[in-house]
A and B are shown apart, each in its own frame.
Chain A
Amino acid sequence: GQQVMQIPQYQHVQEGEDFTTYCNSSTTLSNIQWYKQRPGGHPVFLIQLVKSGEVKKQKRLTFQFGEAKKNSSLHITATQTTDVGTYFCCRWVFSGGYNKLIFGAGTRLAVHP
């Protein structure tokens, strides 16, 4: 289908441990976006990846786009309690004459102090 596959569904770490979530698609992606949703909140844009093999960093967060543009990952180094939330990878799909942002299933991160 249109949705990207995301694993794991849930990750429980101790504060200070690293965390990685993976996104996979059966088809080549033109780009991929990552969003974070805090508990009770709404999704907030983190980053967009466009180029094959692209790697982008935001402080402790590292985003990668695979060489074949079929997978992506988000890695958080030394997690903090503020990292708690659900991380979604999303893909744009052109359908019915419009571009639509389709969400992956998300990875829910719990960080214990």
Chain B
Amino acid sequence: GAVVSQHPSWVICKSGTSVKIECRSLDFQATTMFWYRQFPKQSLMLMATSNEGSKATYEQGVEKDKFLINHASLTLSTLTVTSAHPEDSSFYICSAPSGASTDTQYFGPGTRLTVL
């Protein structure tokens, strides 16, 4: 099946710093990628839709200035958590469809962010 990678797999940072998370589709192109956040023992909550060549679409309640998304190419989307605070500590997961937008979603392995 299609492979999506994420880097880094985990990161620990100090409060106030920015963290960049990369999501790559390794063997297919993705004009759209999705970013989710998952708190412990909770479901995945969609944060934003990353669109190659245009601005990301953010879900209600997600601060676009805090969670910067850049879809630099057909295989790469990045999420930057700016001025991170402890409440931003979470598991961030990206996904991409291998074909049509409602096809199977392939998820990256996730990035565990801990903000001290």
Q: Which residues of A contact B (CB under 8 A)?
A: 31, 33, 35, 41-45, 48, 88, 92, 96-106, 108
Contact = CB atoms under 8 A, between A and B. Distances in A.
B101 A99 contact: yes
**7 closest cross-chain pairs (CB), A and B:** A42-B107, A99-B101, A103-B44, A45-B104, A103-B43, A92-B102, A43-B107
Contacts of A101: 34, 46, 95, 105
Contacts, number: 52
B114 to A, nearest CB: 15
Interface of B: 32, 34, 36, 41-46, 49, 51, 57, 93, 95, 101-102, 104-110
B41 A98 contact: no
B107 A44 contact: yes
B43 A98 contact: no
B77 to A, nearest CB: 14
Contact of B102 (A44, A96, A99, A104): A99
Given A42-B110, A98-B51, A99-B101, 19 more contacts: A31-B102, A33-B105, A41-B109, A42-B107, A43-B44, A44-B107, A45-B104, A45-B105, A45-B106, A88-B43, A88-B44, A97-B57, A98-B57, A100-B49, A101-B34, A101-B105, A103-B36, A104-B43, A106-B43
